[in-house]
A and B are shown apart, each in its own frame.
Chain A
Amino acid sequence: MTLRTVGQPVGRIDGEEKVRGEARYAIDLKVPGMLHGRILRSPYPHARLLHVDAAKAAQLPGVRAVLTRDDILRGDRVERRYGRVYKDQSVVALDRVRYVGDPVAAVAAVDRETAEEALQLVEVEYEELPGVFDPVAAMAPDAPLLHEALGKQRNVCSLSTTVRGDVEQGWRESDLIVEETYTSATTQHCHLEPHGCIVAFDPSGRVTVWSGTQTPYGVKMNLAELFRLEPERVRVIVPYVGGGYGAKSHLKIEPIAAFLAWKSGAPVRIVLKRQEVFFTITKHGAVTRMKTGVKRDGTLVARQVEILYDTGAYAEGGPLVAKKAATLAAGPYKLAHVKTESYCIYTNKPSAGAFRGYGVPQVALAYESQMDRIAEVLGMDPLELRLKNVVEEGSRFATGEALHSVGFKPLLVQVAQAIGWGKAEGGTAGEKKAERGGAGDPKAGGTRRRGKGLAIMIKSSNMESTSRCGLQVNDDGTVTVLTSTVEMGQGPRTMLAQIVAEELALPLQAVRVHQPDTDVTPFDTMTTASRSTFFMGNAMVRAAAEARRQLVALASQLLEVRPDDLVVEGGRVSVRGSPDKGFGFGDLARRAREQGSPLQAEGVFEAKEPHGEEPVSIPSFYLVGAGAAEVEVDTETGQVRLLRYVAGADAGKALNPLLAGGQLRGDATIGIGQTFFEEMVFEGGQPVNATFLQYVLPSFKDIPELFDTVIVETPHRNGPYGAKGIAESTIACVAPAVGNAIRRAVGVRLRDLPFTTERVLRALAGLQDGGR
């Protein structure tokens, strides 16, 4: 089959609307009569709530509702506790606050200023408690506990393990054992649009939520449960979302807005300030201990990993991140013996949850740095070592599952080629000197050294999830697509329109994608885990095939021609060889409606999680990624310039190479920020850089001028056209690729993210990092 639209680098269908500033996001929305909600937050990282009194705030003119713990403890509107994994969270704090920023009370008023003023009038008395701020200290036997009432010992929120073979036997079989510890900083997603929502309760008891969420159905279900409502009473509408990266999944600010809306009887809008976004959700900081056993010839034998994810004050999605990481922590290598233990540890910091890469960047840093370490000790080429051990089609993964569509070998080879692997590096070669001048030249100070580094990573998508979609043919011959997949810049509207255009032989412009609205668009598990192309894409192929079948069947009936003799082309169904004999889609749509069976089609796609080696009919897919870096290190300042970066993935099939390339670059760009600068800094639990004034993000100038992408295509047997997701393939590769390149440039190994200039210089000076 030759494809016409799918596989083409078409521009995004909503690009013009966005560039013109016409696209509407949650923070742009207004509803008549709406109030503005603001949240009072704890100034202490850990404290008992002795007294909360909002009487004065309630009396301020313009205030329509206040929310304190009394509303939750005395009333029965909401469940006291909620949480996706553990019910350890409440709409506002009940007895204790557990991080700076923990919601204590909220106000809805006629405008933001009044709400802000009212917050000052809420009287709160705290009794400070000792806190814990890093996961290692939090596990100490005498550390203060955050959730002892839940029976959480040593602040362990969750523990997930993966075992394959027997690592003890593995150590015995190994010639060399390497053991190291790597750390990653807590960071924030920094999506451009802050969290924003409007919630309205109507008199009949229905709730409408407009929210910039990645999970419309998640918000619907969770909010219904929290407010003890039938799910059908909750409607969630999602406009464009200005970036999510995991930060906008499941309940975030919706519960507070909903409570204020219920209490005031008016719609309530909450849009967070940037600082509050930093309080709402973070990416896990982590300590990863990794031990690897290897044979003299480079064959990996065994790997043991212990990861402590700093999950902050509440479980949120943390245990799910840690659970997934437990299956992935040994990396994409053939290993007979694997043991991973992945902990989520409570600390008095904002909660950590889903973030692009979902726990993998923290472990990939360790396993890919360690691969280079092993190569070095064995005197092997790091590329060769990886090619020797990397998984391929049919390899058994740590989970026992037989892997499919994992084109690591061609990807590695191409990415290495793109960075010029094996060619001169290290700032000593004459070639380099000629190329850039100055490098390694003693007259110019001779302080710059170059090196190249490689890294790969593997990540699974949602292993068990469902996508449904609808499609209808309109009277004007266009097609409307009903999908709950959220457009947050990653391009699914374009991808889905391409699929429909392909299947129905329509121009892209004839396909309109409806915004997610749980009253209208069918169920979809969520827009996360790079899953939409695979899951919703598949559902869409099925819906479009069904629509095509209906169009052809009706035309066949009207024309009295066998379906096989009909062709679908240019928005018409006509008799093969005589294009004039046929009907336009619009005509067919009208006739179908008149006949009482409108042209509507549904598509469903569902995948099941494999358990051990037991095969399942439709497993999900793995993201396969690689990265290569060339750096130049200034040995006097510790500054690392990223001269060139190559981001690569196995896309199965790139449905839109333009958008796919954008995803690879965007993903790697976030990785660049996290490699060099990003870190949420806390002093005694107080965040010190939780605004864009202080928190450093990469700018275009920090992105290398030479920034290439490599896409290989190992078709997935269950993917639409062979495609699978790619949007988290490269982020995890950046730090280890850069770390490996630094090592090759100047001989130091960095194990703690971010790789600040000072850390590089201290490593060079052979000093301990104790001067901060």
Chain B
Amino acid sequence: MARFDLSFPETVEEACQALAQDGSDGRIVAGGVALMILVKHGLYRPRRLISLKRIRGLAGVQETEGGGVRLGAMATHHEVELSPVVHRRAPVLAEATAHVANLRIRNMGTLVGDLCHADNHSDPAPVLLVLDARARAVSARGSREVPFAQFFVDTYQTVLAEDELLTEVFIPPAPPRLAGCYVRFSGHSSIDWPTLGAACMLRLGEDARVQEARLALGSVTAVPQRLPEIEAMLVGQALTADLMTEAGRRAARLVDPPADARGSTWYKKRMVEVFVRRALEETLRRARANGVQIP
């Protein structure tokens, strides 16, 4: 393994300064799970790594005023998975992080590192899309907020500039009576990255009609995607078995997944069809379990 510098700034400002100075030579390392694999396989040769470990302000998960959630850049998958705040305010995110790899990876890897690495097979990414979450990007030049809907540019590529640091993820307060789920399918070993992940959130009225629908897919396209066409077709409708089946069919027509080790395009489209429907079914089941009266 090649030699490199490793620095431990203690504040976000110091980290930003280091990034600004090092230019393309510098790179953030959080848990190091994704990065060190690239280094070990000679796919990335680091020169200066800037660790976020000693920056106090980046740790942990907090509830914000009004019932939103703030996830620090150093919050690990496992912290998110176990956080009472996440369980209360964004349980679907806890559900998704619990699926990530295995406990060793979840203990070392951060949620934000997963998102910045931008592998399109991320489990939490589609969930953040349906939660309408936003990222805070900070640099020596200033600070900005980016909705996750605009965050992913391509596989392994985000909107973050070279000198930018993602300090936190903000999940806005959820409207009342929003039910949701994350369903994931791995055709390989069950601890492998997913073949497909589908996140769904629905608000159902007293009349059992869909008032609001949010659906997103991970893994099957270059970046995780919301499915606005499907969301639109659901709103105002009663969630019948036929409707859910039709939603799955249409979703499969909207995506064009690349063939790879996890399956052919044909197969992945079939899985989209099945799992969009199953995500809707599961969300409906949960909404019912939570007392929504559905005839």
Q: Which residues of A contact B (CB under 8 A)?
A: 113, 445, 636-639, 677, 681, 688-689, 691, 693-694, 696-699, 701-702, 756-758, 761-762, 771-772
B41 with A758: CB separation less than 8 A: no
A677 with B264: CB separation less than 8 A: no
Residue of A nearest to B190 (CB): A701
B190 with A757: CB separation less than 8 A: no
Quote the shortest CB–CB distance from B217 to chain A (angstroms). Answer: 15
A771 with B189: CB separation less than 8 A: no
A758 with B191: CB separation less than 8 A: no
Question: What are 7 A-B contacts defined by CB distance under 8 Å?
Answer: A113-B1, A636-B270, A638-B187, A699-B190, A758-B267, A761-B270, A771-B265
Given contacts A693-B37, A761-B267, A772-B264, contact A699 B191 (CB under 8 A): yes
The answer for the CA separation of A691 and B40 in the assembled complex, in Å, is: 12
Residues of B within 8 Å of A681, CB to CB, are: 261
Given contacts A691-B41, A757-B263, A771-B267, contact A701 B189 (CB under 8 A): yes
Contacts A113-B2, A698-B189 supplied; 11 other A-B pairs, CB < 8 Å: A636-B270, A637-B274, A694-B261, A696-B189, A696-B192, A697-B189, A701-B191, A757-B195, A757-B267, A758-B187, A758-B263
Quote the shortest CB–CB distance from B199 to chain A (angstroms). Answer: 18
Given contacts A689-B261, A691-B41, A758-B267, contact A636 B274 (CB under 8 A): yes
B185 with A637: CB separation less than 8 A: yes
B266 with A699: CB separation less than 8 A: no
Residues of B within 8 Å of A693, CB to CB, are: 37, 41
Does B253 interact with chain A (Cβ within 8 Å)? no
Quote the shortest CB–CB distance from B44 to chain A (angstroms). Answer: 13
Quote the shortest CB–CB distance from B219 to chain A (angstroms). Answer: 14
B270 with A699: CB separation less than 8 A: no
Residue of A nearest to B267 (CB): A758
A677 with B189: CB separation less than 8 A: yes
How many B residues are at the interface, by size bracket?
20 to 34
Does B177 interact with chain A (Cβ within 8 Å)? no
In this complex, the member of B37, B41, B189, B281 whose beta carbon has the largest number of chain A beta carbons within 10 angstroms is B189
B264 with A758: CB separation less than 8 A: yes
Q: Which residues of B contact A (CB under 8 A)?
A: 1-2, 37, 41, 102, 185, 187-192, 195, 259, 261, 263-267, 270-271, 274, 278, 281
In this complex, the member of B187, B263, B266 whose beta carbon has the largest number of chain A beta carbons within 10 angstroms is B187
Residues of A within 8 Å of B265, CB to CB, are: 771
A771 with B264: CB separation less than 8 A: yes
Residues of A within 8 Å of B1, CB to CB, are: 113
Say which residue of B261, B266, B278 sits within 8 Å of A771 (CB atoms). B266
Say which residue of A113, A637, A698, A699 sits within 8 Å of B271 (CB atoms). A637
Quote the shortest CB–CB distance from A11 to chain B (angstroms). Answer: 26
The answer for the CA separation of A696 and B188 in the assembled complex, in Å, is: 7
The answer for the CA separation of A637 and B248 in the assembled complex, in Å, is: 14
The answer for the CA separation of A390 and B37 in the assembled complex, in Å, is: 50
The answer for the CA separation of A415 and B102 in the assembled complex, in Å, is: 33
Residues of B within 8 Å of A694, CB to CB, are: 261
Residues of B within 8 Å of A697, CB to CB, are: 189
Residues of B within 8 Å of A702, CB to CB, are: 189-191
The answer for the CA separation of A761 and B185 in the assembled complex, in Å, is: 14
B191 with A637: CB separation less than 8 A: no
Residue of B nearest to A677 (CB): B188
- Kindly list the 3 A-B residue pairs having the minimum CB-CB distance in the complex, ordered from nearest: A757-B187, A771-B264, A699-B191
Residue of A nearest to B259 (CB): A772
B41 with A699: CB separation less than 8 A: no
Residue of A nearest to B281 (CB): A445
The answer for the CA separation of A699 and B190 in the assembled complex, in Å, is: 8
Residues of A within 8 Å of B191, CB to CB, are: 699, 701-702
Quote the shortest CB–CB distance from B194 to chain A (angstroms). Answer: 12
In this complex, the member of B102, B188, B270 whose beta carbon has the largest number of chain A beta carbons within 10 angstroms is B188
Residues of A within 8 Å of B270, CB to CB, are: 636-637, 761
Residues of B within 8 Å of A445, CB to CB, are: 278, 281
The answer for the CA separation of A771 and B263 in the assembled complex, in Å, is: 9
In this complex, the member of A694, A757, A762 whose beta carbon has the largest number of chain B beta carbons within 10 angstroms is A757
The answer for the CA separation of A689 and B261 in the assembled complex, in Å, is: 9
Residues of B within 8 Å of A689, CB to CB, are: 261
A756 with B189: CB separation less than 8 A: no
Residues of A within 8 Å of B102, CB to CB, are: 699
Residues of A within 8 Å of B2, CB to CB, are: 113
Quote the shortest CB–CB distance from A689 to chain B (angstroms). Answer: 6
Residue of B nearest to A443 (CB): B241
Quote the shortest CB–CB distance from A735 to chain B (angstroms). Answer: 16
Residues of A within 8 Å of B259, CB to CB, are: 771-772
The answer for the CA separation of A771 and B190 in the assembled complex, in Å, is: 24
Residues of A within 8 Å of B266, CB to CB, are: 771
A637 with B187: CB separation less than 8 A: yes
Quote the shortest CB–CB distance from B25 to chain A (angstroms). Answer: 20
Residues of B within 8 Å of A762, CB to CB, are: 267
Residues of B within 8 Å of A637, CB to CB, are: 185, 187, 270-271, 274
B189 with A699: CB separation less than 8 A: yes
Residues of A within 8 Å of B41, CB to CB, are: 691, 693
Residues of B within 8 Å of A636, CB to CB, are: 270, 274
Residues of A within 8 Å of B261, CB to CB, are: 681, 688-689, 694
The answer for the CA separation of A48 and B25 in the assembled complex, in Å, is: 41
Quote the shortest CB–CB distance from B284 to chain A (angstroms). Answer: 12
The answer for the CA separation of A697 and B189 in the assembled complex, in Å, is: 7
The answer for the CA separation of A772 and B2 in the assembled complex, in Å, is: 38
The answer for the CA separation of A184 and B185 in the assembled complex, in Å, is: 25
The answer for the CA separation of A757 and B271 in the assembled complex, in Å, is: 11
Say which residue of B187, B192, B264 sits within 8 Å of A639 (CB atoms). B187
Quote the shortest CB–CB distance from A761 to chain B (angstroms). Answer: 7
Residues of B within 8 Å of A772, CB to CB, are: 259, 264
Residues of B within 8 Å of A761, CB to CB, are: 267, 270
Residues of B within 8 Å of A696, CB to CB, are: 188-189, 192
Residues of A within 8 Å of B192, CB to CB, are: 696
The answer for the CA separation of A637 and B274 in the assembled complex, in Å, is: 8
The answer for the CA separation of A761 and B278 in the assembled complex, in Å, is: 17
Residue of A nearest to B263 (CB): A758
Residue of A nearest to B188 (CB): A696
Residue of A nearest to B43 (CB): A693
Residues of A within 8 Å of B271, CB to CB, are: 637
The answer for the CA separation of A146 and B271 in the assembled complex, in Å, is: 42
Quote the shortest CB–CB distance from B283 to chain A (angstroms). Answer: 15
The answer for the CA separation of A671 and B156 in the assembled complex, in Å, is: 35
The answer for the CA separation of A771 and B187 in the assembled complex, in Å, is: 17
The answer for the CA separation of A756 and B278 in the assembled complex, in Å, is: 21
In this complex, the member of B195, B259, B267, B278 whose beta carbon has the largest number of chain A beta carbons within 10 angstroms is B267
The answer for the CA separation of A689 and B263 in the assembled complex, in Å, is: 14
The answer for the CA separation of A771 and B259 in the assembled complex, in Å, is: 9
The answer for the CA separation of A762 and B263 in the assembled complex, in Å, is: 11
Residue of A nearest to B42 (CB): A116
Quote the shortest CB–CB distance from A115 to chain B (angstroms). Answer: 13
Quote the shortest CB–CB distance from A538 to chain B (angstroms). Answer: 40
The answer for the CA separation of A284 and B187 in the assembled complex, in Å, is: 24
Residue of B nearest to A444 (CB): B281
In this complex, the member of A445, A697, A772 whose beta carbon has the largest number of chain B beta carbons within 10 angstroms is A772
Quote the shortest CB–CB distance from B8 to chain A (angstroms). Answer: 25
Residue of B nearest to A113 (CB): B2
Quote the shortest CB–CB distance from B54 to chain A (angstroms). Answer: 29
The answer for the CA separation of A693 and B39 in the assembled complex, in Å, is: 13
Quote the shortest CB–CB distance from A758 to chain B (angstroms). Answer: 4
Residue of B nearest to A696 (CB): B188
Quote the shortest CB–CB distance from B281 to chain A (angstroms). Answer: 8
The answer for the CA separation of A691 and B37 in the assembled complex, in Å, is: 11
Residue of A nearest to B192 (CB): A696
The answer for the CA separation of A758 and B266 in the assembled complex, in Å, is: 9
Quote the shortest CB–CB distance from A635 to chain B (angstroms). Answer: 10
The answer for the CA separation of A637 and B186 in the assembled complex, in Å, is: 10
The answer for the CA separation of A638 and B263 in the assembled complex, in Å, is: 12
Residues of B within 8 Å of A698, CB to CB, are: 189
Quote the shortest CB–CB distance from B266 to chain A (angstroms). Answer: 5
Residue of A nearest to B1 (CB): A113
Residue of B nearest to A672 (CB): B189
